[in-house]
Structure 1
Amino acid sequence: MNHADESLGLLARTIPGATKVFHEYHLDFCCGGKQTLQQAADKAGIDAARIIAQLARLQPQADGAVDWTDAPTPALIEHILERFHARHREQLPELIRLARRVESVHGDRPECPLGLADHLENMLQELESHMQKEEMVLFPMLQRGQTDMAAMPIQVMRHEHDHHGGELAKLEALTNGITLPRGACNTWRALYLGLQTLREDLMEHIHLENNVLFERG
């Protein structure tokens, strides 16, 4: 099947494993989920046929795996809360600690991500504010089926998601694409591994909200 004219958001929510392919090619399927695969590939200077071929090789969804596209709204919200909100609150404080350590010990190296710890602290504050608004205002509305009342909060959350996408881009700029330098110590390695996981988790989190939860009428 030729997926070139389908949106990244649609592909991400209908083809299990597609998000891993998109991560590999640095294609934004969360905030940029409405662009087609062809548009995203052209923008990145990548042959769309290569991506389509990889999507075609993905295994069908495993038996028993949850298709969040069709899951009831309360179950989807509970998944977002447990898998992403709670996880981000665990991830970021430890990443800040590791970043402070790397900057303190290796600040004289040109590859050292100076300013990363402060940037992660800003991300934590902004994400905490964002998640609290979802937990206290938006998610209860959606669980009660108040979709008309939720339209404005959803618009605000989408705007904040775009901002989070920009913060991820700054994170990658500070870390040379989260690329470890030669001779990196174990702390540095743990930091960058955690950053990669944070990036993937946050993009999946935004994708599930923008392209699945918020699209429900």
Structure 2
Amino acid sequence: MTSALIDQTLGSLACSIPGATRVFHQYKLDFCCGGDQSLRDSAIRRGLDAEQIARLLESLEPASGDETDWRGEPAQVLIDYILERFHERHREQLPELIRLASRVEQVHGGRPGCPNGLAEHLWHMQQELESHMCKEEHILFPLLRQGFPAPQVQGPISVMRFEHDQHGAALARLAALTDDITAPENACNTWRALYRGLEELRRDLMLHIHLENNILFADAPANA
């Protein structure tokens, strides 16, 4: 079975194996924007042992109730979950992260490792995410809820996929600014709180994109 897993895409594995996303986070494998890449190819790019990761996936035991198999759910149900779990959450996360980043830069801007420029980057992420989520809420999601045929939804889906790639690039820039979201040993409490929040944002945004790219958009309009 290990060899079979190696040749499956990260997106497919994230959908079919409860707990796989935790493993992918651990190994920093992009299962959202890079969900169409095989485990083998993704591991090679990062210099990782694909067979070791596959064996770990095989050994997973689902955590209690923390993951749902969304592939068999109607589009309306998944859309409601995305709106509540991710759209609302991102709108809560980013203003506080921007405030914390500004504080850290003001107080520690001259110290090695200070993420100078992070507050501005998060502000741009907030603007792009808000625009993206509004398009989904007012254009794409209503079309999917009403079961419009493929020619009418594929245009908006293509735009959303393109913007997801931009969000992935923004996460890569965030990682570059923060030493992969690793606080210095002597970082203050505000700095550590900021990085805990950034890690949560990264995990949430990657899962958000995964559910849309690899399930909602992949099945549209069949699961409407």
What TM-score, normalized by structure 1, do the two folds share? 0.97
1:65 Cα shift?
5.7
Amino acid at match of 2:132: H
- Which secondary structure does the structure 1 equivalent of 2:99 belong to? helix
Tell me what 2:22 maps to. 20
Identical counterparts, % of pairs? 60
Q: Structure 2: which amino acid aligns with 1:92?
A: L
- Determine which of 128, 144, 155 is the counterpart of 1:152: 155
The answer to which of 80-89 and 53-62 deviates more is 53-62
Is structure 2 residue 206 aligned with structure 1 residue 203?
yes
Structure 1's 115 and 206: CA in aligned 2 closer, same or farther, altered over 3 A?
A: same
Asked whether the equivalents of residues 19 and 62 of structure 2 are also in contact (C-alpha less than 8 Å), the reply is: no
Q: Cα deviation per residue 1:101-135 (whole Å; 9 max; x = unaligned)?
A: 00011011011000000000000000000000000
Question: Partners in 1 of 2:138 and 2:148 — Cα distance?
Answer: 14
DSSP-derived class of the 1:86 partner: helix
Q: 2:174 aligns with which of 155, 171, 176?
A: 171
Amino acid at match of 2:125: M
Which residue matches 1:122? 124
> Which residue does 1:9 correspond to in 2?
11
Check if 1:87 corresponds to 2:74: no
Whole-angstrom CA distance in 1 between matches of 2:187 and 2:62? 38
4+ residue stretches of structure 1 with deviation over 2 A?
A: 60-66
Q: Which residue of 1 aligns with 2:216?
A: 213
In the alignment, structure 1 segments of 5+ residues that lack a partner are none
**Secondary structure, counterpart of 1:110 in structure 2:** coil
- Once the two structures are superposed, residues 155-204 of structure 1 have per-residue CA deviations (whole angstroms, 9 ceiling, x without a partner) of 00000000000000000000010011020000000000000000000000
The 5 Å alignment of 1:11-90 reads 11-60=13-62, 66-90=68-92
The change in CA–CA distance for 1:192 and 1:61 in structure 2 (over 3 A counts) is closer
Root mean square deviation, CA, Å: 1.3
Structure 1 residue 60: deviation in Å? 4.3
Q: Does 1:188 align with 2:201?
A: no
Q: In 2 relative to 1, CA 151–17 (structure 1 residues): closer, same or farther, beyond 3 Å?
A: same
| Matched AA of 2:182 | T
Distance 2:154 2:177 in 1: 35
Distance 1:128 1:119, change over 3 A: same
Give the direction of change, closer, same or farther, for the CA distance of 1:211–1:47 in structure 2 (3 Å limit).
same
TM-score, length of structure 2 as denominator length: 0.94
For 1:173 and 1:37, the matched residues in 2 are separated by: 24
Task: Indicate conservation of the 8 Å contact 2:18/2:67, yes or no.
Answer: no
Q: Helix, strand or coil: the match of 1:215?
A: helix
